[in-house]
Amino acid sequence: MMEAREFLESFEILAPSLRTASIYARVRANLKSKGVTIPDPDYWIAAHAIEEHIPLASTDKHFENIPEISTHLL
């Protein structure tokens, strides 16, 4: 249990801000205008990736619909 806790503590937790929410809304509206929808939590993941300028590693191909993210498919 202690090893797992120490491992998880090595990661930074990103809390949503007003800027994150604004990016979320923009990304969701842009995709909706193209007839594309993704699961709601993934909009938040995308918003954080955009806000923090971090690449995203995922098995979900729908992140490729968001050109602002550098996505690495696994």
Q: What is the reported pLDDT for 2?
A: 82
- 57: alpha, beta or left, given left = phi > 0 and alpha = psi -120 to 50? beta
68 compared with 11, residue with greater pLDDT: 68
- Residue 1 reports pLDDT greater than 80: no
Q: Determine if the pTM surpasses 0.95.
A: no
Helix (H) or strand (E) holding 71: strand 71-73
Q: CB neighbours (10 Å) of residue 38?
A: 18
Residue-wise DSSP of 20-57: HHHHHHHHHHHHHHTT----HHHHHHHHHHHHHT--EE
Per-residue pLDDT tens for 8-40? 888 888 899 999 999 999 999 999 999 999 999
pLDDT computed for residue 7 by the predictor = 87
Domains of the chain by start residue, with CATH: 16-73 (3.40.50.1010)
Q: In a 3-state reduction of DSSP, which class is residue 73?
A: strand
